[in-house]
Structure 1
Amino acid sequence: MRLPKFPIPAMQFLTSLTYLSSLRIFAEATGNNLDDCKCQPSQRCWPDSHAWSRLNKTTNGALLKTVPPGIVCYQGPAYDKEACEKISEESKYHTWITQSPFNVMQPGWNGNPCPPTGGAEANGTCNTLLGSPVYVINATNPSQVEAGVKFAKKYNIRLIVKNTGHEFLGRSSGAHSLSIWTHYMRDADFTESFKPKKCSKAKAHSAVTIGSGMQWKDLVLLAHPHGKLVVTGGNPTVGCIGGFMQGGGHSPIGSKYGMAVDQVLEINLVTPSGQYITANECENSEYFWALRGGGGGTFGVVTSATIRTYPTQPITVLSQNFTLTSDDTDIWWDWMAYVHSDIPRISEAGLMGYSFIFDNGTGKVGWAAALTMVNGTAEEASDILKPLYANLTNGKYKDHIIYDQQTYTFPDFMTYFVNFFRAERAGSTAVLPSRLLDARALTEDPTFFAATLKKMWSPYVGAYLGHIVGGPGVAQYKNVDMALNPAWRRTYNHFIAATGWDTPDLRDAVVDHARNVLEYNLRKLAPETGQYLNEALYGSEGWQAANWGSNYPRLFSFKNKIDPNGVLYCFNCVGSEKWVESANGSLCRASWA
């Protein structure tokens, strides 16, 4: 079977796109009272060894003391050249990162303590955790999660949650913290007739109940023998029901079925008070509302959830490429504006997927797209694009732009998923200002759209990433009451202007450009929508409204009600404005809070 191939420069960039590492922007705490700050190991409030031993006993030996895996590359008794070489190679892949209780996809978020050196002994020693947790609970059942939450609350310790560590904004790491690692909570129970608890009148659904450590690469395989598909993310290593689902979870088949959060029927979690509860539309309904789009690591530690399943379907993929052959860049951006203006039409007709605008390595700009159709033939999918190609071949663009299209048909969702998606490699530092683009932004003023894309395009930009994952499937849930940003219900394209840097000396210039040029212009393009909270510029201006729209006041009020002491905190999460994180990792209440 021939598989889709994207131009090499685009794939090199995209597969190394490890979003937003090394960009945490700290501010100094405004309060000096230690009672207003989370406890640190150097302070008297920190639990003694006996307290940690009791926690280890309570969790049946699940407590781990953090030791940076890269310590084997540094001077001292742990140095091991062979082990250093091995870990240096393994650490390039997200698969290894998800299996580590300590590491995260973006180690720059936690200061990247003791990075692997490729086998050579590093100068200096590995004697600091920087932003990594001090202890980790390798949780395999809810009672261990309960114990961890209660311990953190009792001793006023910063608490974080890690599922796979595939987190673009560094929310699964934190200095001076206790981490709850849910990776091995991986049960899966399929049923044809699931009803939420205490909802006797609810309609029964085909569903699967999964533990919070389950990843899409595993659940897709488990669903296949049952003849089912699930509404996945676009990366195999992503956790199914962690921050991905709780933040919304866009999907390569979202224009047909909706977002991952739209599939949730019931959630089991440990609240910030340490109580294990079930949340659905009939029981603990406010938790159920908040957890569907309110963001991970904020309202509780999810231990399992039940999501809808659907009969598996054939999948057709169109691999589409446009390339500028002349030197007329104005005609290129004009064409790109026309292509984007056609996205609502092709979405409504049944195509969905991902697009990329990139420098093809020859100094020319290119477009590559992987457009998916559920339960449709190659002919049906191609017919949808005929009006687009007719405009290219017969109009003003024909002497400037060439195109190529290939089609691939997979017999079922599992075959499509395992052949089409690959785990990302860890790599360069990147920044992702983004915007949700609705029909107005895409179609109302093509001239302005073209000018905006041209204005933003510069050596600072690695690629424009388009996620054509909204449309009718997402809009069908517009009357369902949940915390997800309402702008998603009218979105067709989640658009990212991806930028980054290779050397630290470029960081400030890149970040300034991302905020003052890229994000600024994206907001002008779609001023009344927002952004996807899991893929956005760190410290985005007005992040509350951008992430949640009109739902933010209700979310903020609920957070204050259930977690007044901030047991759960993460940057740019609901209620995080009540806290200030300093350069040394201390976390203190803001002066106004």
Structure 2
Amino acid sequence: MIYLCLPILLVLTPGSSNMKLRDVSISGMHLFTALTYLSSTRIFAEATNRPRCKCQPKQSCWPDSHAWSRLNITTNGALLKTVPPGIVCYPGPAYDKEACEKISELSKLHTWISQSPFNVMHAGWNGNPCPPTNGTEANGTCNSLLGDPVYVINVTEPSQVEAGVKFAAKYNVRLIVKNTGHEFLGRSSGAHSLSIWTHNLQSVEFSENFKPESCPQAKPHSAVTVGAGLQWKELVTQAGKHGKLVVTGGNPTVGCIGGFLQGGGHSPISNKYGLAVDQVLEFKLITPAGKYITANECENSDYFWALRGGGGSTFGVVTSATLKTYPTQPMITAVQSFNLTSDKTDIFWEWMAYVHSEIPRLSEAGVMGYSFIFGNANSGQLSWMALLSTVGGDIDKLTELLNPLYANATTSRYENDISWSQNNITFPDYQSFFTAVFQPETVGGTAVLPSRLLDGRALTEDPTLFAATLKKMWSPFVGAYLGHLVGGPGVAQYKNVDMALNPAWRRTYNHFIAASGFDTEDVKDVVVNNARNVLEYNLRKLAPETGQYLNEALYNSEGWQQANWGENYPRLYSFKNEIDPNGVLYCFNCVGSERWVESYNGTLCRASWAS
């Protein structure tokens, strides 16, 4: 539970009309946020009248079969009763060995997960309620209530979302939103819930002269309006047919405008064009009150501000968004590899500190891409691999920019310990680059992703500290260090645009992840504790004044409000309370979620201080 940053708070005791002073433990929340919450007279007035917990099946408050039937009719037969695919692996009438073997293979594929109304990519955060068992009949039962929704609305039009939101509000049922299920913190699933599944909102419309509604003075822009369920692999193909480029994510199965976009959305071409959220011209959404609205700079601008970086499943259910498009460009790419050829691991970490100190220079020159440090923590075998690109230009220019790295590698300090290579390829357009480089991944276990946005100071000021930090964190717990060179000039160019995105992004060069994970519950706590107490702790020391990317961060990260949104959190928190005082939309570590506590069995209740 997160508590407020004051020694004594004025708190309304549940069940009483009198306000009393009560001691409250303090940590982890911005002072202004606390004062904003406590000064809300509406929250005080409603506190004694609102149900303390979301309703659950078998409770008298749970909608009866007639209510669910009416919702099904209202949504034109779109209501689905959850039947976990993994149930075919468990004792009972549904057990089917052959089907279990098939599901066990399919469940590893992002493509299959995105097409499933129920399954998500990292189910370990929700208790992994009904995992497939590779054909072997499981011991125990398939208890899907641990993390799966009870019902799902298979949305194909906005009116169905309206009906679902109003139903959840009326009956005090937990409401969740799933797009593709490609989500690292379990936010697209939840126990005892009704799920809005947006995967089948697949519309695409290109325009050369798009103007946001109610903005007659706006400058027309080449743009594309896409439905909430469209994935990048589909939009890249469609854009390519129009000779266009869109600022995409780096995985083909990620949804274009769901949590990825609303959380910021870094891209392989962010260095030139900005983050995905910088491309938004307009949203269409259903608010927590069940109202279908348009949000842009001229209409519902407060929603437009919040949705650009405030996170998904929080301020409304987005059904479509309009994004800028650009003429497609060639992509010039170099694949680098640096390998430790001796047992001198200190030399390797020293070398990595030097390489990272070069990232700001490269980024300012238009170089972008991804890097990976991997190897065997016990044997000392370590490697760095990077896929670095420029939009346009030529390979000679890119190689010239990279030459200082090779020159340093061949000095007497490193020549006997570091080997290197570079392979080059030029793609004629963005579609061919995206299709060749980014392939659907397989799912294995649950990712644990302590991360940090690294600015120029963190990367260049103290190479000795940088090397020591990488060395200190490296252990068998760490699968790899992932570097996302997705900041720089293109992102910084929007620094004066007012939006909810963490301002630290505007000075970021490298989004750095110390990646680990777990396959089974018995090792979960060990892995997460190491991630929090070693990995995240040291990354914060390396860059204490930046933050993290909220879509790729440690589960229940310390001080996540400040880390995710920086100085924007108080305004976001206030707006969330204004538009959704009853918590119709909730997701883990999302804006306002500290007002709620989720128990081990999925029960979602108001936190004691937020009663």
Task: Confirm or deny: 8 A CA contact 1:245 1:293 kept in the other structure.
Answer: yes
The question of 1:149 aligning with 2:151 is answered: no
1:332 aligns with 2:348: yes
Q: Which residue of 2 aligns with 1:129?
A: 145
CA contact (8 A) 1:293 1:485 kept: yes
Q: Which one of the candidate residues 493, 501, 506 is aligned to 2:518?
A: 501
Q: How does 1:167-566 map to 2 (within 5 A)?
A: 167-359=183-375, 363-566=380-583
Structure 2 SS opposite 1:36 = coil
Spell out, residue by residue over 1:277-313, the C-alpha distance to the aligned partner (whole angstroms, 9 max, x if none): 0000000000000000000000000000000001001
Contact 2:184–2:447 (8 Å) recurs in 1: no
Q: Deviations over 1:69-97 (max 9, x none)?
A: 11122222222222222212111101000
**What residue is the counterpart of 1:106 in the other structure?**
122
1:33, distance to aligned residue in structure 2 (A): 10
1:45 to 41, 45, 61: 61
The alignment partner of 1:394 has SS state of coil
> Deviation per CA, 1:483-535, whole angstroms, max 9, x where unpaired?
00000000000001112235543332222111111111100100000000000
1:170–1:200 distance in 2 versus 1, CA, 3 Å:
same
* TM-score, normalised with respect to structure 1: 0.93
- Asked if structure 2 preserves the Cα contact closer than 8 Å seen for 1:198 and 1:283, the reply is yes
**Equivalent in the alignment of 1:140:** 156
TM-score, with structure 2 as normaliser? 0.90
Deviation per residue, 1:5-24 (Å, 9 max, x gap): xxxxxxxxxxxxxxxxxxxx
Aligned to 2:88: 72
RMSD across aligned positions (CA): 1.5
Q: Deviations over 1:363-413 (max 9, x none)?
A: 411100001111121111111101221122135111211101101111111
Does the 8 A contact of 1:68 with 1:129 survive in 2?
A: no
Deviations along 1:439-496, one digit per CA (max 9) or x if unpaired, are 0000011111111111111122111110000000100100100000000000000001
Matching residue of 1:585: 602
Letter in 2 for 1:216: W
2:110 aligns with 94
Paired residue secondary structure (1:129)? helix
Q: Distance in 2 between matches of 1:358 and 1:420?
A: 19
- The answer to whether the Cα contact below 8 Å between 1:581 and 1:588 also exists between their aligned partners in 2 is yes
- For CA contacts below 8 A with separation 6 or more, give which structure has more relative contact order: 1
Amino acid at match of 1:374: V
Note the residue ranges of structure 2 that are not aligned, 5 or more in a row.
1-46
Separation (CA, whole Å) in 2 of partners of 1:115 and 1:333: 39
Following the alignment from structure 1 to structure 2, what is the Cα–Cα distance between the partners of residues 232 and 403?
Answer: 30
Shift of 1:174: 0.6
Contact kept in structure 1, 2:166 and 2:289, CA below 8 Å: yes
- In structure 2, the residue matched to 1:5 is none
Partner Cα distance (1:66, 1:504) in 2: 24
Q: Structure 1: which 5+ residue stretches go unaligned?
A: 1-30
In 2: Cα distance, 1:410 partner to 1:402 partner: 27
3-state SS of paired residue (1:532) = coil
Pick closer, same or farther for the CA change 1:128–1:315 going to 2, 3 Å.
closer
> 2:109 touches 2:442 (CA, 8 Å); kept in 1?
yes
- Other structure's SS at 2:271 match: helix
- Deviation >6 Å, runs of 4+: 31-34
Q: How many residue pairs align between the two structures?
A: 563
The one-letter code of the counterpart of 1:533 is: L
- What is the aligned partner in structure 2 of residue 61 from structure 1? 77
Q: For residues 180 and 395 of structure 1, do their structure 2 counterparts lie closer, same or farther at Cα, with a shift above 3 Å needed?
A: same
Out of 560-569 and 416-425, give the one that drifted further. 416-425
The aligned amino acid for 2:317 is: V
Counterpart code for 1:392: A
- In 1, Cα distance between the equivalents of 2:380 and 2:474? 13
Counterpart of 1:417 in structure 2: which amino acid?
Answer: F
Identity %: 76
- Check whether the contact 1:109–1:173 (CA below 8 A) recurs between aligned residues: no
